[in-house]
Structure 1
């Protein structure tokens, strides 16, 4: 029996010493609470709140590969500061449903009231996009080119078209035109 098999998300009690980055600076920015079966934890430096109003462009992405056993996803928000793009917070989520993402984004807004990004660049996960639009209605939501490329390759594979893409120049050109669409000016 694995030691975490007797533990569930809603029963975890996080000792105070593990909620701080340094003395006087919180690292556990939000915890929906013991007893919440849909528990969300948001981690990041409290110091990031001091420049949260400057975060005009935010990158957002979720990953399942590094999620701890009791959570399904780690969702990351990144922002630029002095020319460097850095993670500003990590959210541990139990799933990728829209209501879960809404709860997370609302928790971010409650934690950082000045946080009001003008642009959010994210993957094409409909639940995350809809949640971002709901919680940050004035933000422009942009798809991430990396994810567009990855999804295109995935679809070519799923539809058994990878060979055709490699061997049929006309087909490869047409597929490449789809990927190039984000670079076409809206007027055209």
Structure 2
């Protein structure tokens, strides 16, 4: 089974031990993993091409340019600097073409050795979110992102597939924002609401405001800041003025925080309101990339930290095959393979109902109270989460 290079060596060992036990009635004679570890990894290494020692030395074998269905898969293998390797099947390109709302996010932990990060694009169709584009980038530069997107566009065009996304939801990474605007100028770049909340909380920690933020009146205003993406765009300035009055009148230490919010998200901001505000699309499509973070956690469980390039490519091939199986099942059976948790459905239903009621009676205070519940949940998640290099 070691020749199944898609499987981690530890998984292969466990399956072989189980098989031996079934056939012989006991697993007692099988050497423990530690005794065989070096031998098993040495055998596995002989089944893969030599591990690249530099980006410029990478030569991707022909069989790794195709997916497990023997269809063309590799669409980008750019030179250094800003090297990008990226994969997508023709079927994946068609899914991208048919679904105008994309989500993109990167991860560092499972990116292959020699590369700074892996970057994935997912589509959200009527049934579930699915990873479609798999890439690894030498760095997080605008040039790398532009190379990835331009290669994707060119590859799709070569296959007579039109890519014209309406929205692309990402974190607040300026390089990717600029690259999207260059390659897909008609796409509206949207900022992930959860990343917005993370950015606010990081500043609260940076400015030593965590203790002050535990007081009820302060907690309320912090929640109001995090809820800004869910209020009508024309209410943002007025709401922010009230937040500033409450916070800065209580303690001038909050001026750094409110200045940060204004500079980055409100007035002549790095990230304009239309990028991070989700009021118009509440209940229509995801406003966070939490689905993608879940996919990254699955990768972390299957792949060791910073695997060699060949292991990463084989994992990508396996992942793409699983995605297409899911897609075909969903289309045939008209049901999702990834049911959402009930609490998230309830949250969305509460938001949709609150938005509808606000539009009808224009009671902003009541609407804002509902939004604070979402904000407090985000704060709890962020505070409880371990620091991660995958966070922006």
Matches within 5 A, 1:43-62: 43-62=87-106
Partner of 1:8: 54
Pick from 208, 217, 225: which aligns with 1:170?
Answer: 217
User: How far has the Cα of 1:174 moved from its partner?
Assistant: 1.6
Q: SS at 2:109's partner residue?
A: coil
Residues 117, 139 of structure 2: 8 Å contact kept: yes
Matched, 1:161 2:205: no
Partner of 1:91: 135
Residues 60, 75 of structure 1: 8 Å contact kept: yes
Matched, 1:32 2:100: no
Matched, 1:136 2:180: no
| Aligned residue pair count | 182
Pick from 178, 181, 187: which aligns with 2:228?
Answer: 181
Which has more strand, going by share of residues? 1
Cα shift readout 1:122-147 (whole Å, capped 9, x = no counterpart) = 10011111211121111111110121
Residues 10, 38 of structure 1: 8 Å contact kept: no
Residues 96, 123 of structure 2: 8 Å contact kept: no
User: How far has the Cα of 1:21 moved from its partner?
Assistant: 1.0
Partner of 1:42: 86
Q: SS at 2:76's partner residue?
A: strand
User: How far has the Cα of 1:83 moved from its partner?
Assistant: 1.4
Q: SS at 2:67's partner residue?
A: strand
TM-score, normalised via structure 2 length: 0.44
Q: SS at 1:26's partner residue?
A: coil
Residues 59, 79 of structure 1: 8 Å contact kept: yes
Backbone CA RMSD of aligned residues = 1.8
Residues 101, 166 of structure 2: 8 Å contact kept: yes
Alignment partners' CA distance in 2, 1:79 and 1:106: 18
Partner of 1:80: 124
Alignment partners' CA distance in 2, 1:67 and 1:152: 27
Residues 53, 116 of structure 1: 8 Å contact kept: yes
User: How far has the Cα of 1:94 moved from its partner?
Assistant: 1.0
User: How far has the Cα of 1:27 moved from its partner?
Assistant: 2.3
Q: SS at 2:211's partner residue?
A: helix
Pick from 152, 173, 177: which aligns with 1:108?
Answer: 152
User: How far has the Cα of 1:52 moved from its partner?
Assistant: 2.9
Pick from 170, 173, 187: which aligns with 1:125?
Answer: 173
Residues 25, 47 of structure 1: 8 Å contact kept: no
Residues 96, 163 of structure 2: 8 Å contact kept: yes
User: How far has the Cα of 1:44 moved from its partner?
Assistant: 2.8
User: How far has the Cα of 1:37 moved from its partner?
Assistant: 3.6
Which has more helix, going by share of residues? 2
Structure 2 unmatched ranges of 5 or more: 1-49, 236-392
User: How far has the Cα of 1:152 moved from its partner?
Assistant: 1.8
Q: SS at 1:22's partner residue?
A: coil
Residues 76, 148 of structure 2: 8 Å contact kept: no
Cα shift readout 1:69-88 (whole Å, capped 9, x = no counterpart) = 11001111000234111000
Q: SS at 2:122's partner residue?
A: strand
Alignment partners' CA distance in 2, 1:183 and 1:144: 12
Partner of 2:63: 17
